[in-house]
Amino acid sequence: MSEEHFDVLVVGAGISGIAAGYHLQASCPGRSYAILERREQLGGTWDLFRYPGIRSDSDMYTLGYPFRPWTDPKAIADGPSILEYVNATAAEYGIDRKIRFGHHVKRVSWSTEAARWTVETERTDTGEPRRFHCNFLFMCSGYYDYDEGYTPEFPGADEFRGAIVHPQKWSEEIDYAQKRVVVIGSGATAVTIVPEMAKTAAHVTMLQRSPTYVVAAPAEDRFAIRLRRFLPSRLVHAIIRWRNVILGALFFWFCRRYPERAKAFILGRVRRAMGPDYDVARHFTPRYNPWQQRMCLVPNGDLFDEIKAGRASVVTDEIETFTEHGIRLRSGEELAADLVVSATGLKLQMLGGVEVAVDGKQVDFSKTLTYKGVMFGGVPNMALAVGYTNASWTLKCDLTCEYVCRLLNHMAKRGYAQCCPRPGDGDVEVGPLLDFTSGYIQRSIDSFPKQGAQAPWRSYQNYVLDIWTVAYGSLEDRALEFGRQPSGPLRAEAPTGP
């Protein structure tokens, strides 16, 4: 079996993997790196998801890269434009040439003695095994299972004569023109897919067990468009990015601090959009407070428009059973359907399903603490790019890339070969990594790393705070242990599985 060595291996060529490539090239030019990607295309999420209307639900000034301005007039962008942007970024900086496509990373194992990772991959097409080595492993593998989404067991599903499809498995062959469509779910995917399918379907029903907060926002940022007439794109991108960061953080703070007022504000806007006769209390008033789950954004209020036009409707009820011709609800009502879209969410997955061992022992990540939301207690020379739940993904991912590069340069300068976050006796777990009540998080949060009571073990989900602690904060602290090659003071004790 052929073996190759790189200073850094990045796993995943989505938004984060391309950001990692950019930062490594810009800030650590002396380091060799490669990106291992299991698919045959880059773009990750934005290449995988092909359902009708696929788009961002945050603005592209914060979801885009700070180093490459977003110039499309649409601030809430469609999937193909985002994919094109990620592809163009990779091509412009030559990052695409660093990607090894079709390499599915299966297992990684760290040796303290050799101060390196061994990375075992399988060719996606042939299953052929390959082995790589690296000193630092940068996981940019996203947060969900690429093989399948989450579909609950629907009673009677076998009886149904139409098709049931999960948005993650959407294909262009699915024809819904003039068909009766039921979309199960009320999350970001459901509110995206419903107005788009309503344009050609006979009718689209959004069937939800309970509502989600839905907020309308302009698809285009007029202020940004005006600014671009007399300011360079880079400057406009930076100005709008910061404006959106600040407004987003203030709105999040307002929702958490004054939940009743936030609720009244959001529901007031829905009432204004839907008119006085619509049952907003039943269909758009969630059981939880604003920002206890991710909010759904609808560009130009397209969902509200389709409902008002009668091409789409919302039903808030529970499924009793599928029938031959549709879905029977607890209330006794029956929804006729030719096609059912199960917009029931993702299956969360840590590190792209990769098995991790440290000095021969399997790591159980549910027993680890996150360090600055970037590394894990007891796991040397590994970082994970993961975004915010309450703001655009790329904001945190970009800070993580800056941190990794600073760390690599610091280690090179001081002659360190390894670094490992090491919780002390008082650094105990105080809760799950994410405090959202969303079903997709609650289903798998137990298998995810935990967070501690205070920095650096606490994950604040706060961009401005993270700038100081992650991007500029001191690299040497009581929790991060450094070691030299071949085996320095570093102890190899990762939390292990059963």
Does position 39 interact with ligand FAD (CB under 6 A)? The reply is: yes
Binding residues for ligand FAD restricted to 265-284, rule: CB under 6 A: none
* Contact characters 186-205, ligand FAD, x per CB under 6 A: ---x----------------
For ligand FAD, which residue of 6, 8, 10, 12 counts as binding (CB under 6 A)? 12
Residue with smaller CB distance to ligand FAD, 401 or 479: 401
Q: Which one of 24-32, 43-51, 262-270, 368-376 is the stretch in contact with ligand FAD (CB under 6 A)?
A: 43-51
Q: Which one of 37-45, 335-343, 407-415, 418-426 is the stretch in contact with ligand FAD (CB under 6 A)?
A: 37-45
Q: Distance between CA atoms of 334 and 326, rounded to whole angstroms?
A: 7
Residue with smaller CB distance to ligand FAD, 203 or 294: 294
Does position 221 interact with ligand FAD (CB under 6 A)? The reply is: no
- Whether the CB-CB separation of 112 and 378 falls below 8 Å is answered with no
- Whether the CB-CB separation of 334 and 169 falls below 8 Å is answered with no
Q: Distance between CA atoms of 327 and 36, rounded to whole angstroms?
A: 43
- SS3 assignment, position 179: coil
For ligand FAD, which residue of 28, 33, 44, 176 counts as binding (CB under 6 A)? 44
* Contact characters 241-260, ligand FAD, x per CB under 6 A: --------------------
Q: Distance between CA atoms of 138 and 272, rounded to whole angstroms?
A: 47
- Whether the CB-CB separation of 299 and 218 falls below 8 Å is answered with yes
Residue with smaller CB distance to ligand FAD, 321 or 462: 462
Minimum gap (Å) between residue 55 Cβ and ligand FAD: 7
Does position 400 interact with ligand FAD (CB under 6 A)? The reply is: no
Q: Distance between CA atoms of 224 and 203, rounded to whole angstroms?
A: 36
For residues 203-240, one letter each, b for 16 or more C-beta atoms within 10 angstroms of the residue's C-beta and e for the rest, the string is bbbbbbeebbbbbbeebebeebeebbeeeeeeebbeeb
* Contact characters 147-186, ligand FAD, x per CB under 6 A: ----------------------------------------
Q: Distance between CA atoms of 288 and 299, rounded to whole angstroms?
A: 23
For residues 281-296, one letter each, b for 16 or more C-beta atoms within 10 angstroms of the residue's C-beta and e for the rest, the string is eebbbbebbbbbbbbb
Question: Residues touching ligand FAD: how many (CB under 6 A)?
Answer: 32
For ligand FAD, which residue of 8, 9, 24, 63 counts as binding (CB under 6 A)? 63
What are the structure tokens assigned to 320, written together? 């009793």
What are the structure tokens assigned to 79, written together? 């999937």
Q: Which one of 39-47, 220-228, 242-250, 298-306 is the stretch in contact with ligand FAD (CB under 6 A)?
A: 39-47
Burial class of 456 by CB neighbour count within 10 A (0 to 12, 13 to 18, 19+):
buried
Residue with smaller CB distance to ligand FAD, 61 or 160: 61
Does position 214 interact with ligand FAD (CB under 6 A)? The reply is: no
The DSSP string of 187-242 is SHHHHHHHHHHHTTSSEEEEEESS---EEEE-SB-HHHHHHTTTS-HHHHHHHHHH
With CA atoms as reference, report the closest residue to 58 among 294, 398, 346, 401. 294
Residue with smaller CB distance to ligand FAD, 90 or 201: 90
For ligand FAD, which residue of 8, 10, 13, 492 counts as binding (CB under 6 A)? 13
Does position 212 interact with ligand FAD (CB under 6 A)? The reply is: no
Does position 49 interact with ligand FAD (CB under 6 A)? The reply is: yes
Structural element, H or E, at residue 108:
strand 103-111
Does position 228 interact with ligand FAD (CB under 6 A)? The reply is: no
Residue with smaller CB distance to ligand FAD, 61 or 482: 61
Residue labelled with tokens 């689209």: 204
Q: Which residues bind ligand FAD (CB under 6 A)?
A: 11-17, 36-39, 44-45, 49, 56-58, 63, 104-105, 140-142, 146, 189, 352-354, 385, 387, 392-393
